Amino acid sequence: MTYSLPLDWIEEKTAEALAEDLGDAGDITSLATIAPDSHSEARFVARQDGVLAGLSFARATFLQLNEAVIFTPRKQDGDHLQKGDVIAQISGPTRALLGGERVALNFLGHLSGIASATRQFVALTEGTKAKISCTRKTLPGLRAAQKYAVRCGGAQNHRFGLYDAVMIKDNHIAAAGDITRALQAAKDYVGHMVKIEVEVDSLQQLETVLKAGTTSPDGFLPFADVVLLDNFSLDDLRTAVAQNKGRLVLEASGNVTLKSVRAIAETGVDIISSGWLTHSAPNLDIGLDF
């Protein structure tokens, strides 16, 4: 992988998950039934085909419980998994393996599920110029992990928060008065170094965005960089692409599914964003076998 998450952040998140699961008393089942000096070996195994993500979360989970645990990966994040593949092997104190099992599987299953769903979307858009992107519809506290999983699946990330890009939506437009006024104010506020995206829900609004800008000796400078075409029909998406004439980046969003994504990509838009990737992707079935 050419991208990763900070180890200290991963350790923070796994520590939170372990604290939630173990509470103050710890794993009382293992404490009652497993001898303190017991050691075991186990394997993470894929129960279905998919794409792996979250291996570092699993490793951090066990090492926080006991540094004597040996975690040996057999696959890497981003790898395609087939049912029955061994993802990693672990060995160490049995209580630590049992105590971290569910937390490790929760991270692996959830993040691998996102990566797997993302890879399906990406595969369906092959041969078009459209790129798949996620959104900010993520679980509180786990946005970076979920967006990392999207990257493992072969797609790209949208903005990470309200702080790293301007995105003018319908409520901003309503509060500001109109699209042009909102765009002018945004351009004046952030200058030329920050991208500005604006959401439109009609071809008429798109035309307004295309005309909003300033004229300089070098020509017309639009206020917006990206336009989000919200819930456009396929016919309107094609019209929008023709209307745009390659001037601004066009992003299609709204009700994007595995059944619809190919047709959307074939309209000629640049980006297709889907909140489903992070808020509704099914868990990938992974087991830990002793």
Catalytic residues: 102, 137, 169, 199, 230
Per DSSP, helices labelled H in the chain are 7-22, 28-33, 55-65, 94-124, 143-152, 170-176, 179-190, 203-211, 234-244, 261-265, 276-279
CA distance 109 to 279: 14
Place of tokens 């979920």: 146
Q: Are 115 and 78 in contact (CB under 8 A)?
A: yes
44, 86 Cβ separation under 8 angstroms: yes
CA-angle at 146, arms to 142 and 148, nearest 5°: 120
B/e letters for 182-220, b = 16+ CB within 10 Å, e = fewer, are bbbbbbeeeeeeeebbbbbbeeebbebbbebbeeeeeee
User: Burial of 140 by CB count in 10 Å (0-12 exposed, 13-18 middle, 19+ buried)?
Assistant: exposed
- Rounded to the nearest angstrom, the gap between the alpha carbon of residue 248 and the centroid of all alpha carbons in its chain is 24
Contact in structure between 196 and 168 (CB atoms under 8 Å):
yes
Residues 6+ apart with CB under 8 A from 90: 41, 42, 43, 44, 62, 69, 70, 71, 72, 97
Burial label, 40 (beta-carbon count in 10 A; 0-12, 13-18, 19+): middle
Do residues 149 and 114 make contact, with C-beta atoms less than 8 angstroms apart? yes
